[in-house]
Amino acid sequence: MHLAVEFFENSPCAQALLDIDGLVRSANRSFWTLTGGEDAAASEFHIQQALTRGAAMFYESQLVPTLLQRGKVEGISLELRLPSAQQIPVFANAVLHRGADGHPDGIFLTLFDATQRRLYEKELLRARKEAERLSEVVRRSSDAILRFGPDGTIQSWNEGAIRIFGWSSAEVLGRSISSLMDDGAATAMQDAMALLGSGTQVVRDFAGVRKDGSTLDLSVSLTPHLEAPGTLVAFSAIIRDVTLLKASERALLQNEKLASVGRMASSIAHEINNPLEAVTNLLYILQSHPLPAESLELVTMAQEELARVSQIATQTLRFYKQSSSRVPVDVETLVQSVLALYRSRFANAGITASSDCKRASPFRCFDGEIRQIIVNLVANAFDAMKSGGTLTIRCRDTILFSGSRPELRITIADTGTGMDSSTLRRLFEPFFTTKGIGGTGLGMWITQDLVNKNAGRVRVRSSVKPEKRGTVFVLTFPH
Ligand code: ADP
Ligand code: MG
């Protein structure tokens, strides 16, 4: 018994025996240390005196009645108020003591200092809030911020990813990262995974693919998550859609190229203009000299070709003077004059050219533009038929449905090499040429521009199959 008393007195827990009304009948050292009370063996001390006002009310109105009902309570939060006015959070456990007659006659009370625990809880709460805030940032980010398993399976998916790729998280979780990448990016992705495995961060551009199959440019930054002894347990990715950025970069580059070509072209045109004029004048003088008929014909041909040179100098790269108003152009005459320019070259290459433009009424346009369009298309047809073929040009007015405005339709068909699908796709791109140094890649680009300017449309059909090889351009313009 003596040991039990000693244990009570020296116990590391604050313990007290109270009357039902809260009077402390006996308490150990820890209790007095915690409550900051006197060793109140002499004076009367009620537990309520050690509590804040709220805690005292709670003690009387809740804790004691519950205790009387159940016989014990555990883990009740109370607030001590020390004589120094400092407040200390505590947990209380209490057991009801019954006398020999079975009536409750005392309370065994144990108090635990909860200051540390409170601090810990507060810290935990703060950390949780912080984590929530952070995950909110990740969740709502317009970039895709994702986590992958070491084998590349998608483990998390945020709103940015939904926006960029079009997959919902239910659809995509568990799939492989490769389902977000274009097939072409597969090997680059494998390289990246190998680097991640060795603990290296990877920042790279990939061609991505959306749910609907369309492709996009992605800027991807991959970070490995390693655990000792250097095993890859996961990796995270920040993925940004840079499609628009890339497109505008490309457009800028193209603009720069065009501007420099434009500058070069205009300076060349300027340089050759003077000698050109001189030669034109010389031929004119020569023409008025008495010459044998044969020589006169040669001079005329030279003049024709020279006209073409000045046309190229002033027109091909669109540095011709724009005629100030639309004029009615006789399409047949125009086509004839273009074919006449090519007559001798067609003959040399074994090309037969024919045209049928009788059923086309005069077309109101800027004179030079429609001519430019036809010259460009005929030039390409000529290039495509270096070993002979047939060129057919047909122009006519068409009426799509009764009451609609008539359109001028120009069809230019050649039996040349034709174009494969990759050429067709890039046909109208500036600087796209399959002719190496011999091509500028500007003809079709300019053509499309001029057609658009005249509210027209271009359609192309082309085949490289031997039995129906060739190309057909159909242009339509509203009259
Ligand atoms: P360039 O003639 O300087 O190459 P273009 O813009 O006029 O530039 O044409 C672009 C490319 O389109 C050509 O290099 C050629 O491959 C293709 N192309 C255009 N027209 C034809 C055609 N009638 N037949 C075959 N290929 C053509
Ligand atoms: Mg061309």
**pLDDT tens across 440-461, in order?**
888 898 889 889 888 899 999 9
Reported pTM:
0.47
What's residue 321's pLDDT? Answer: 42
Give the Cα separation of 238 and 222 in Å (integer): 7
Q: Where are the beta strands (DSSP E) in 228-376?
A: 231-241, 327-329, 351-359, 363-365
What's residue 324's pLDDT? Answer: 60
Nearest CA to ligand 1 atom 14: 433
The strands making up 154-156's β-sheet, listed across from edge to edge, are 154-156, 144-148, 231-241, 215-227, 202-209
Distance 69 CA to ligand 2 centre (A): 101
Q: Which ligand does the CA of 438 lie closest to?
A: 1
**Ligand 1 test: best mutation among 258, 372, 383, most atoms within 8 Å of CB?**
383
Q: Show Cβ contacts of residue 34 under 8 Å, excluding neighbours closer than 6 positions.
A: 14, 80, 88, 90, 111, 113
Domains and CATH numbers, the chain: 2-114 (3.30.450.20), 141-241 (3.30.450.20), 243-321 (1.10.287), 326-479 (3.30.565.10)
Angle between the 293-311 and 243-287 helix axes, to the nearest 10 degrees? 150
Bridge partners for 153 per DSSP: 176
3-state helix, strand, coil in the chain (%, to 5): 45, 30, 25
Is the C-beta atom of 381 inside 6 A of ligand 1?
yes
DSSP label at 28? -
What's residue 237's pLDDT? Answer: 94
CA-based torsion, 177, 179, 180, 186: positive or negative: positive
Kindly give the parts of the chain with pLDDT less than 50.
317, 319-322
Q: Show Cβ contacts of residue 174 under 8 Å, excluding neighbours closer than 6 positions.
A: 153, 154
What's residue 42's pLDDT? Answer: 58
Which residues are found with C-beta within 5 Å of the ion, ligand 2? 380, 443
What's residue 341's pLDDT? Answer: 78
State which ligand 1 atom lies nearest to the alpha carbon of 427: 12
Give the Cα separation of 152 and 426 in Å (integer): 35
